[in-house]
Structure 1
Amino acid sequence: MLKKLTATILAGLAVTSVFAAPALAQETTIKFTLGWKTQGSDAAFFVARDKGYYKAEGLNVVIDQGEGSGATVTRIMGGAYDAGFGDVNAIIQNAAAKPGEAPVMVYMIWNKPPFAISSKKSVGITKPQDLEGKTLGGAQGTPTTRLIEVFARKNNVDMSKVKLTNMAPNLQEPMLIKGDIDGALVFNITSYFNLLLNRQDPEKDYNWLMFGDYGLDLYSNGLMVSQKLLKENPKAVEGLVRATNKAMMETAKDQNMAMKSVMAFDNLVNEAVEKKRLQYSFTHLMVSPELAEIGVGDTKDDRMARAIGIIVEGYGLTRTPKPEEIFSRQFLPAKSERALVYTAN
């Protein structure tokens, strides 16, 4: 009788342990903010979510739309988000003022900056010196507008001969099209598609002076995490980076697949336009000789130091943060796993 009772109790405990085991493996929830409204260039994050790559790392990544790539930093610093896709240059600004509080970039995605001056070809702005005697429209506070003075100094442009007009971001392309301004201080990945949506041909009819081609060799957007997540759950950070990287490699090879995840997240976006934006992000902001050398996600310390110096100068910052305050490569997968092969399809 005692043997039978003992066997029953043990069997019961075994059943209980089977049902209890999954409860012990709780997922880590990460609140994640995009840099802006849903865009094709965000595809890798949606792919990682839909294909279960985040889940396989024990993560429940909750993705929200953003309010601007600079706002990603303040959203994370405010505690509302644990991670996000945003601008490393905004990290530099905040790290200069509040050491130890700004997020840290852990996976650099846009190897080249989107800061540019767009103009109609008929205006004749083909090099920086052509800006003299022209009227430029810029949105106050944006990196392109804030850095125009540094751009001018590096390229011997006399800014006393350039008229700057302040305007809301949504007015830049309409005023450019109408001819009210000669050039617009923009993000190329935004302005290019605003022109396209306004039935313009941004390739055939417009010139683009890319800041990265004229002495402002800055890094740009990538995956950043909060100081809190970095310190309290480095394993989660490693998993977040690994899953995102896996999805990025697949997105580079198959944009049609990636766009299915974009549309699953937000079926109101223009699929054709956002697919082009996704491809534009690879060709204009990611693929580069440096990327081929070091792989997606990484940076070069000397270039990062120079980039920090440019931002300190452009924004008049009182402290120069060290590269290790801004970027950490400790969570990156092996370089062989980050070798990007981009094929447009």
Structure 2
Amino acid sequence: MSFPVSRRAAVVAVSAALGASLAALPVREARAQQLTPIKFVLDWKLQGIHAWYYLAEDRGYFAAEKLAVTIDQGDGSAAAVTKVMAGAYDAGFGDVNAVIQNAAAKPGAAPVMVYMVYNRAPFALIVKAGSPIRTLKDLEGRTLGSPAGGAAQRMFPLMAARNGVDAGKVKWTSMAPNLQEQMLLKDHVEGSAVFSVTSYMNLVAQGVDPDKDIRWFHYGDHGVDLYGNGVLVSRQLLRDKPQAVAGLVRAVNKAVRDTVADPDAAIAALMKREPLLNQALEKRRLLYTLRTVMLTPEVGTGGIGDVNDARMTRAIGQVKEAFELANAPTAGEVFDRRFLPPLAERKIAAP
């Protein structure tokens, strides 16, 4: 049976197209297989302090390292650690002090920090500028606010002991994290234990000048010299795909450097993901974070991403004391610097 020429041509064309499509499948599959998927969880809802991750995505830094990184919002810097530890995520942006606690409880199972972002933990106490609380000693007999089990509250007795304050004479009221500043401003509490990089901009959003209207007691200024949040990875990713860990660190490092050089570009990348954010507020949050907890004198010497081993050992001891841990992990169990780019690539000048 013969077909008309037009029908025969159509059959040939369809067959050729199908053959080409089938031939392309292995190529597409091979390309997909070349990318290592990484599920990454943040410490909180999208804010200016997360901008560099999206800048890395937009500028192709993850793809250049053959990584397919999926970024999800989080619900706490300590929760990010437990989510990675549980296997729900391969990596995340979480609190090294939570890593220390988990490493003490389950040696060999806790995630490992591979790139320190917050060289200084952003724990602080805030009171109104007109408050009679002018020194830490003045906190005795006062009522402070904190989320139940909040890290700043848990570390308070340590700061109190180092400054001659009787922690037993300080009362605490539990509240939701998003109500801390409101409760203080409405005088329901006389002070609050906060995460400074979040609280600072919460105050701005409520029409308060956090530099003039609020008195700050930063833990790092009062004997509690802890590190903060950074990029952490699961033990499995560390063991099975070390090249992916190295690529992730390189990509984040490039994006952090780019963010310092051009904060507007980083905030623009963030706004693409969450257009309802206040762009000016989030840029101010980013700059505040760079200035207060990231670009410290230690970073000026040792570069972004690394830690000082002696200081880390002291910090581990302080966390052990504050949380009454049965044992303390070593600095090497908590932080692994093998994947850091050379110092020249991690040097950052303050903006």
Q: What's the TM-score, normalizing by structure 1?
A: 0.92
State the alpha-carbon separation in 2 of the partners of residues 45 and 162 from structure 1: 39
Mean Cα displacement is larger for which, 149-158 or 166-175?
166-175
State the alpha-carbon separation in 2 of the partners of residues 159 and 16 from structure 1: 68
Post-superposition Cα deviations, 1:53-99, rounded to whole Å, max 9, x if no partner, equal 00000000000101111100111111110001010000011111111
Q: Is residue 229 of structure 1 aligned with residue 237 of structure 2?
A: yes
What is the correspondence of 1:3-18 to structure 2 with a 5 Å cutoff?
Answer: none
Mean Cα displacement is larger for which, 159-168 or 317-326?
159-168
Q: Is residue 96 of structure 1 aligned with residue 84 of structure 2?
A: no
Match of 2:128 in 1: 120
State the alpha-carbon separation in 1 of the partners of residues 142 and 31 from structure 2: 65
Q: Determine helix, strand or coil for the equivalent of 2:289.
A: helix
Match of 2:82 in 1: 74
- On the 8 A contact 1:119/1:176 being kept in 2, the answer is yes
Say which of 317, 320, 334 aligns to 2:325.
317
Q: Determine helix, strand or coil for the equivalent of 1:102.
A: coil
| Equivalent position amino acid for 2:205 in 1 | L
- On the 8 A contact 1:126/1:209 being kept in 2, the answer is no
State the alpha-carbon separation in 2 of the partners of residues 304 and 137 from structure 1: 28
CA RMSD of aligned residues (A): 1.8
Unaligned runs of 5+ in 1: 1-11
- On the 8 A contact 2:116/2:229 being kept in 1, the answer is yes
Mean Cα displacement is larger for which, 95-104 or 22-31?
22-31
| Equivalent position amino acid for 2:310 in 1 | D
Pair 182,56 (structure 1): closer, same or farther in 2 beyond 3 Å: same
State the alpha-carbon separation in 1 of the partners of residues 50 and 133 from structure 2: 31
Pair 220,17 (structure 1): closer, same or farther in 2 beyond 3 Å: closer
- On the 8 A contact 2:139/2:170 being kept in 1, the answer is yes
Match of 1:139 in 2: 147
State the alpha-carbon separation in 2 of the partners of residues 224 and 111 from structure 1: 14
Post-superposition Cα deviations, 1:15-36, rounded to whole Å, max 9, x if no partner, equal 9899589548610000000110
Q: Is residue 153 of structure 1 aligned with residue 161 of structure 2?
A: yes
Match of 2:16 in 1: none
Match of 1:56 in 2: 64
Report the Cα offset of residue 136 of structure 1.
1.1
Question: Quick one: percent identity of the two aligned structures?
Answer: 49
State the alpha-carbon separation in 1 of the partners of residues 326 and 178 from structure 2: 32
| Equivalent position amino acid for 2:146 in 1 | G
Q: Determine helix, strand or coil for the equivalent of 1:70.
A: helix
State the alpha-carbon separation in 2 of the partners of residues 17 and 141 from structure 1: 52
Match of 1:27 in 2: 35
Match of 2:202 in 1: 194
Match of 2:313 in 1: 305
Q: What's the TM-score, normalizing by structure 2?
A: 0.90
| Equivalent position amino acid for 1:90 in 2 | A
Pair 17,98 (structure 1): closer, same or farther in 2 beyond 3 Å: closer
Match of 2:271 in 1: 263
- On the 8 A contact 1:253/1:342 being kept in 2, the answer is no
Q: Determine helix, strand or coil for the equivalent of 2:126.
A: strand
Post-superposition Cα deviations, 1:236-261, rounded to whole Å, max 9, x if no partner, equal 00000001100110100111011111
- On the 8 A contact 1:249/1:341 being kept in 2, the answer is no
Post-superposition Cα deviations, 1:250-307, rounded to whole Å, max 9, x if no partner, equal 1001110111110112222221111111111100111111111100000011100110
What count of residue pairs does the alignment treat as equivalent? 330
Unaligned runs of 5+ in 2: 1-19
- On the 8 A contact 2:111/2:234 being kept in 1, the answer is yes
- On the 8 A contact 1:41/1:278 being kept in 2, the answer is yes
Report the Cα offset of residue 138 of structure 1.
1.6
Post-superposition Cα deviations, 1:292-330, rounded to whole Å, max 9, x if no partner, equal 110000001110011011111111111111111100000
Mean Cα displacement is larger for which, 179-188 or 48-57?
179-188
| Equivalent position amino acid for 1:80 in 2 | A
Say which of 333, 336, 341 aligns to 1:333.
341
- On the 8 A contact 2:300/2:349 being kept in 1, the answer is no
State the alpha-carbon separation in 2 of the partners of residues 32 and 138 from structure 1: 28
State the alpha-carbon separation in 1 of the partners of residues 109 and 186 from structure 2: 44
| Equivalent position amino acid for 2:325 in 1 | L
Q: Determine helix, strand or coil for the equivalent of 1:280.
A: helix
